[in-house]
Amino acid sequence: MLAFGESTAFISVLLPATIILLGIGGVIGASGIGFWAIWTAAALGAAMGGWASYWLGGHFHGALAHFWPLSRHPEMLVKSVAFFRKWGVGGVFLGRLVGPFGSVLPLAAGICNMPQIPFQIANIASALIWATWVLAPGALGIAWLK
């Protein structure tokens, strides 16, 4: 649920999930809980959140600019659409991994009518890397300290 919230437009603003997941990685390392089950849940949650944002963008298009927080920061959607138009599928992939646009770029992809299959390939691949990125440092760091 944390990864889903972190990767879903509008929810991600309210939920500091990346920090919490970094801490969960530490708990995994300290407690001996299985890494792969939690990693799988985080990757699936992130991919589903990206897909939900893509769907919202494709369904509501420009009307999303009138909803908070985009209504207060309209440049975020404009910049995300411009970034997507410049970088395409690579932008969707990198967007999750870099900066605050991770949950907004799938909206932009939906708004720009990106085909479903290339979007999902970038979405799932970046979710797998993102889940590793947020969980592994804590899990491996604590295991290394032991």
Q: For 49-100, what is each residue's pLDDT tens digit?
A: 999 989 999 988 877 777 777 778 778 788 888 888 898 889 888 888 876 6
In the chain, where are the structural domains located?
Answer: 2-145
- Whether 21 has a pLDDT exceeding 90, the answer reads no
- Angstrom distance (rounded) from CA 91 to CA 67: 23
Cβ–Cβ under 8 Å, residues 3 and 43: yes
Tokens of 140: 């491996």
Please give the average per-residue pLDDT across 117-127, as a whole number.
Answer: 95
Q: How far is CA 111 from CA 25, 72, 82, in A?
A: 34, 19, 11
Handedness of CA 100, 4, 92, 140 (dihedral sign): positive
pLDDT score, position 142: 64
- Angstrom distance (rounded) from CA 82 to CA 77: 9
- Angstrom distance (rounded) from CA 55 to CA 3: 17
Please give the average per-residue pLDDT across 10-34, as a whole number.
Answer: 78
